[in-house]
Structure 1
Amino acid sequence: MIKEINFEKNLEKNAKRLKLKNHKLAIGEMAMEPPVRKQGEPKYFPGHYDGRYYIGFVTDEERQRTLTHLVRAWLQWTQSQGIETWLAHGTLLGWWWNNRILPWDTDLDVQVSETTLKSMAENMNMTTWTYNFEEDNFQRDYLLDINPYWTNRLRGTAANLIDGRWIDKSTGLFIDITGLSQTHGVTRPGVISCKNLHRYKTFEIYPLREVKFEDFKAYVPNSYEKILIKEYRSKAFTNTEFSGHDWQPAIGSWVPKTRFEPHRLYRLRNGKMMKIKIEDPRGLEAVPRPSFWNLLWRLAYW
């Protein structure tokens, strides 16, 4: 009697014995059949500028001005449309320090819920909003562009971690928009996350807190400090030197180091030289003016 041999089973046993990582791939290689690879999603949002509107690198001053109005326009538009959104990541940290954008940031970050993201994708995608800020004589057009792969709520190949962008059509600078979804309801109940694996408990986000950011009404997560510590560690609240800037509490602002030398030999108004340490970027302007009697004495001495 001839015993039937299960060749497929034997091949699988051999693959296991050889400790190959992928048993199915090993079987395919033994059978001389090339493995079939699944094609990944193409990256939809490349670069630090949007290529459609990129006209060249902007100066630091222009970048700061552009980003300020970029986020103001976003806040104005979302509130006019009844869209729920809140500050995230470095933008949230900038709010914590002084309600402003961090001066070294090249883009901004906001978050929305998956429900809001779906609504924007279906009803508002490719919307252009004209923004006019008369006090600064500033007018720009902004584009809402939702990533066509936003429906895939898992990380995948990490090609499309950003779900949408709010783009300045004059420079190509933008705000990154990411949606939060409950992707593992069974194993992680009550936890929502973005594609970049930033995870939050629902009560850490909601209810949102109303704040001021760049002089406009904005919202931040309920447990914003806990979220920032988780992402940046507690040193983010105490480090007063970062990216070529010093925090100056006297004026409540980050100041470029090139503008200010905290230890320097200054010539005072009375003619004397003194080594001054002041936490103010105005330099000698921060030194108090001499009194009337001091001026009178100097005149008599002269």
Structure 2
Amino acid sequence: MIEILTGSSLNTIQDFGRRHAMAMGVAQGGAMDRLALGYGNLLLDNPLDAAGIEIVFFPFRVRFHAETSFAVTGADCRVTLDDLMLPRDWAITGRSGQTLTISAPRQGARAYLTVRGGLDVPAVLGARSTDLKGGFGGLEGRALQKGDRLTCAPAANICLPAAGYGLSRPCPLPSAEGTQVRVLPAAEHDIFTPESLKTFQTAAWTLTPSANRMGYRLEGQETLMLTRKLNLFSHGILPGTVQVPPAGQPIIQMMDANTCGGYPKIATVIEPDLRLLSQTVVGAPVHFREITRDDAVQAIRQDASDLQTLVAEISKLRTQLVF
């Protein structure tokens, strides 16, 4: 069992979400950085999509009330177990009474705390992710608060070295120069002016403080304009859809996005780049680069291949651990 020592309105329990439920008007939800969550689960020999805590408000502190193997992955944070400083993307076992502290990131925007077995909360519509807007999933459909106690799902004990372990290659994070995301043209792409299409790809768009799990609002020096007035009925949208409201500043739909919307769509961020986008900090620049469908398919295949390589590397490393 773990006890939350610092509450916020933003730290939530997440797994891989409810993509299958979008047809019912339910947001996909789930971890904004799936690779980081999956990495932690792999280190603990959990299912890839086991529920963990997505942390975006720091410092975050928990106390262990039983011996618990855990991992902290994602953003580059200062992580301490009592007075022991832990490396990035590291798995170790905490003893009863010990306190884990995750400080504000030096790079990246969100960290993930996973535990052996995953967090034991009820599945709703096939997932344990918190949907704050709907008020369901996770722990009572809300953010984690000080005093909350969470249990781990039953699982066989995992034997970790006393000092813990992790790969020497941590999860990638956006560079200091900003985040470049690859996009495909969306339905209304060709109705934007040629100047706007050029601006969309050449401008440095700034991530604004209003960015959240529903959408990332961007701000640029110039606005994006249509060639003609357009009245659209609400239509289906997905995480990654880039909409342009009348003000001409783009909004990227993220994991808790509505399932439909009526703003013109200029592009769609490919899925492998959404995780990097999720680690972008407020005030950092975002750059768009249009690619072809074949390029996007190749990127998705490469992403899947990289994940399989990661699985194999962690599996091999576990056989070489010295206890």
Structure 1 length-normalised TM: 0.23
Structure number with higher relative contact order (C-alpha < 8 Å, ≥ 6 residues apart)? 2
- TM-score normalized with structure 2 length: 0.21
Larger CA Rg, structure 1 vs 2: 1
